[in-house]
Structure 1
Amino acid sequence: MRRTWLLPALALAAGVLTTPTAQATGGHTVRFATFNASLNRGTAGQLVTDLSTPDNAQARKVAEVIQRNRPDVLLINEFDYAPQAVDLFRRNYLEHGQNGARPVDYPYAFIAPSNTGVPTGFDLDRDGSTTTGNDAHGFGLFEGQYGLLVLSRYPIDTRGARTFQHFLWKDMPNAMLPDDPATAAPKDWYSPEILDVLRLSSKSHWDLPVRIGRDTVHFLVSHPTPPTFDGAEDRNGTRNNDEIRFWADYTTPARGRYIYDDKGRRGGLSPSADFVIAGDNNSDPLDGDSVPGAIDRLLHAPRVVETHPGSQGGVLAARTQGGANATHRGNPYFDTADFADTAPGNLRVDYVLPSRGLWPLRGAVYWPTDALARLNDASDHHLVWEDVLVSRR
C-alpha cells in the first residue's frame, strides 16, 4: 500500500502499515537525507510527462543515487508541485533497480503547494512588469516549480503536520527586509502594500511528524531562495537569511511565539520534541553570496547539533576545477554543491541537522570518485545523509 498526502485536503487513511523495524521499543537507526535533485522542469506538466515512462535519463540517475544511499526519510528539493508525478517517480524509477542498484520502496509521501510562481500582483524587482517569475512570492515560471517532496519508509502524521506557506515576511520580528540603496530610509525596498501580502518562504516550510516506532521525530524541511539574482538591495540575500532564521526560531524555546502556520495555529516546536532539519539552504558558512552568518544562526541554534558530513569527491572537484574554489576559506571536504570553477565555486549549502536528544552516528555527502562518478551530473547538488539513533529516553 502506498500513501501520498497532499495539502490542502489532508486526510489520514485508516489502518497502519508495518514500519521498517519490527521492534516496538528500543532504538532505531534512521537515515535522514536531503537531495536537491533538479527534477524541476521549464513548463507546467512536463515533469509528469517525463516520469510517465521509465526511460528519462536524468530521473534514472536521480533514482539510482537514492537507491545507492537508501535513506529512510528523504527530502527532495526541486520537485515540481505535481501530485501525479509522485507515484510516477516511485513506480517507474525508485521501484525499479537502476544499473544494478536495488529498488527502494517509500510507502509514504508528502507533497504540498509551493509559493514559487504564485503571483503577488506587484513589481518586486522594479523592472516595470508585474508578471515575471521575479514578481511571484517565490521565483517560478509557473505555480509549484521548484517545489518540495518528502518520501518516507515511516508513517507521516499528517494530522500533526504544519505548513507555513502563507506566513508573511513582515511578521517576523526584526525581519531583515531589504533597503532601497537610492534612499536613506531603512527597509524600504518594498512598500507597505507589498509587505501586507509578501510571504517569507520562497517555497514553503514544513513540519512533518514522522512516527518511528513509539517515537516521533519532526522532519523540518525547506528550500530558502538563493541569495543572488538581485541587485544592491539584496532582496534575495536578506530573504535567504530570514528563511534560514525561521527554523532557528521555531526550534528555540520561547523564540518562536510569533510564528503561525497555514491553519492559524501559533507558536514554535515543543521544547521536548525531537527534530531533524533538512534542506538546500543556499548558504555556506564561509564562502558564497549569502548574508554573513546566515547559516550560522541555524548551525548554532541551542537545540541543533551540527553534523559534518563530507566527501573526498568534493576535495577532488575543487582541486580539479580550481578557479573560485582556490580562493575559498571553507574546507571542500564539506562541499555539497558543484557550482564549478566560476563564482561562487563549490559550496556547502545542503544540511541534515538533528536535535539534541537524537544521536548522530555517521553521515556523508554522496560525491563518488569511482565508476559511480557518472552519477555526479544527476544534479548540481549531491545527496547528503545522516544516520541518527532514535531512542526513547
Structure 2
Amino acid sequence: MRRLVALLICLTLATPLSADPIRIASFNTELSRQGPGLLLRDLTREGDARIDAVIGVILRAHPDILALQGIDWDLEGRTLDALATRLEKAGIAFPHRLTRRPNSGWESGQDLDGDGRIGGPGDSQGWGRFSGQGGIAVLSRFPILTAETQDFSALLWHDLPGAELPTHPDGTPFPSEAAQAAQRLSSTAHWAVPIALPDGTRLRLLTFQAGPPVFDGPEDRNGRRNADEIRFWRLYLDGAFGPAPTDPVVLAGGANLDPERGAGRHQAIRDLLADPRLQDPLPPEPTAQFAGPGPLRVDYLLPAAGWQVLDSGLAPADPAASRHRLIWVDLALPDQG
C-alpha cells in the first residue's frame, strides 16, 4: 500500500496540473453620454438604472478579461477607473485596465463627411460629439503589458493595403483628396493587447469597434470603411503591419456587420469568420437588437484556431442595459509543447 501511495504521489508531481480556463468576454455597454465628463459623473453617483443593469450583466458573466465598447474616454482614465470601482463593489475586481484616446470625436480639420462644412461629429476621425465619446477599453484580472500594446488607430485609411476608398462618380476621391490624405482607418480604435497569464504564457487580445456601414450616400463611404476596418485584422495576422503575432490571439470587439442581414459589405465579415487561423465558437445568433434593421450579429469573439474552446455563449438580452448582448468564451491554453 505504501508503494502504491508513493507511486501515485510521484505521478501527480510528474504530471503538470491543467490551468484553469480563461473566460474572455466582449460587451458593447452603450454607456456613452452626450458630453465629456457626464459618464464619469453618473458612475460616481448611485441610482442610474442603466449603469446598474450593465454592471449586473458583467457580474453574472464574471469574465477574467473583458473587452468593452461604448465607454467614454478621458485623459486620466478616471471614467474607466470609476466603472472598475463600481464592479469591484458589486463583487468582481479588475485590477488591470487599459484605456487610450480613440479616434471618435478627434477633430480632423477637414470636411470628412462631404457635407461642405468643416467641424461637427461627422468631420472627426471617428463620429463623435467630443473627443473620446464611445471609446473602447480592456479590463483584466491578469496583468496587461501596456508598454507592448500595439495601437493602430493612427493608421491612415489610404495606407491600408488594398483600401476601398470612396470616389465621386467621375472617379475623383470622395469627398476630396485632402480629406482622404487625413482620414484614419479606425472609427474608434484597433488595439493588439498582450496580457500575461498565470502560467507564464500570454495571449494577445485584438480589440476594436468598427463604425456602422450606414448614414452615408451612394459613394458608400461608411460601408467601405467598415469593411476595411474588419479586413485590417486579416492583414495584421498576415504580418502587414510588422511581424505577425506569435502569441495566441483572441479577437474580441464590434464589427458592426452581420454576415447576412442588414446593410454593409457582408463579405468582409464572412471572410474573417472563414479565416482558418481563427475559430468561431459562438452560435450564429443575433448579438444586438436594433429598432430599424432588427436583430443582427455584430459583436464577435474569435479565438485563434489553436485555443481549446471549453464553452461559449451569449448573456441573456437585457434592454435595460444595452441593445447589445455580452458574449463570452471559456478557453484552455493552446498546447505549448
> What TM-score results when the alignment is normalised by the length of structure 2?
0.90
Once the two structures are superposed, residues 59-108 of structure 1 have per-residue CA deviations (whole angstroms, 9 ceiling, x without a partner) of 111001000000111011010002111221122x21233xxxxx111111
| Contact 1:309 1:384 survives alignment (8 Å) | no
CA contact (8 A) 1:204 1:222 kept: yes
Contact 2:112 2:183 (8 Å CA) reproduced: no
The answer for the alignment partner of 2:13 in structure 1 is none
Q: Which runs of 4+ in 1 moved over 4 A?
A: none
SS in 1 for 2:290: coil
**Counterpart residue number, 1:77:** 69
The secondary structure found in structure 2 opposite 1:170 is helix
Residue 282 (structure 1) aligned to one of 256, 263, 267: 256
- 1:227 aligns with one of 200, 205, 213: 213
Given that residues 25 and 329 in structure 2 are in contact (C-alpha distance below 8 angstroms), is that contact kept between their aligned partners in structure 1? Answer: yes
Q: Aligned match of 2:82 in 81, 88, 92?
A: 88
Find the counterpart in structure 2 of residue 371 from structure 1.
none
**Partner AA of 1:119 in structure 2:** E
State which of 164, 188, 200 in structure 2 corresponds to 1:176: 164
Equivalent pairs counted in the alignment come to: 319
Counterpart of 1:59, as a letter, is I
Corresponding residue for 1:384? 327
Counterparts of 1:289 and 1:120 in 2: how far apart (Å)? 27
What's the offset of the Cα at 1:268? 4.5
* Aligned: 1:339 with 2:290: yes
Q: Within 5 Å, which residues of 2 pair with 1:1-393? A: 26-82=18-74, 83-91=77-85, 93-97=86-90, 103-180=91-168, 183-185=169-171, 188-212=173-197, 213-252=199-238, 256-257=239-240, 259=241, 267-270=242-245, 272-309=246-283, 334-340=285-291, 342=292, 344-367=293-316, 375-391=318-334, 392-393=336-337
CA distance in 1, matches of 2:218, 2:38: 35
CA distance in 1, matches of 2:310, 2:223: 33
How far, CA to CA, are the matches of 1:54 and 1:155 in structure 2?
A: 29
Measure how far apart 1:128 and its partner are: 2.3
Query: Does structure 2 conserve the Cα–Cα contact (< 8 Å) formed by 1:121 and 1:135?
Result: yes
Any idea what the Cα deviations from partners look like across 1:294-328, whole Å, max 9, x if unmatched?
Answer: 10121122311122236xxxxxxxxxxxxxxxxxx
Q: Given the superposition, is the C-alpha separation of residues 207 and 360 from structure 1 closer, same or farther in structure 2, using an over 3 Å criterion?
A: same
Query: Over residues 327-371 of structure 1, what are the superposed CA-to-partner deviations in whole Å (9 max), with x where a residue is unaligned?
Result: xxxxxxx1000114x3x1110000000002211121111125xxx
**Structure 2, unaligned runs of 5 or more:** 1-15
Counterpart of 1:295, as a letter, is I
Deviations 1:223-280 (A, max 9, x none): 000101111111111000000011111113xxx32x2xxxxxxx1533x320000101
Q: How far is 1:112 from its partner?
A: 0.3
SS of residue matched to 1:74: strand
What secondary structure does 2:296 align onto? coil
Contact conserved, 1:208 with 1:219, CA < 8 A, in 2?
Answer: yes
Partners of 1:172 and 1:291 in 2: CA distance: 17
AA matched with 1:178: P
The Cα shift of 1:129 comes to 1.4
- AA of the residue aligned to 1:74: L
Tell me the distance in 1 between the aligned counterparts of 2:210 and 2:151: 15
Residue 183 of structure 2 aligns to a residue in which SS?
A: coil
Deviation for aligned residue 1:25 = 6.6
Q: Which runs of 5+ in 1 are unaligned?
A: 1-23, 98-102, 260-266, 311-333, 369-374
Q: AA paired with 1:336? A: T
Question: Structure 2 counterpart of 1:339, which letter?
Answer: F
Contact 2:213 2:263 in 1 (8 A): yes
Could you report, residue by residue, the CA deviation over 1:110-141 in whole angstroms, capped at 9, with x for unpaired residues?
Answer: 00001011111111222221111011100000
CA root-mean-square deviation: 1.7
Query: In structure 2, what is the Cα distance between the partners aligned to 1:199 and 1:189?
Result: 14
Percent of aligned pairs with the same amino acid? 37
Distance 2:82 2:46 in 1: 9
3-state SS of paired residue (1:63): helix
Q: Distance in 1 between matches of 2:160 and 2:113?
A: 22
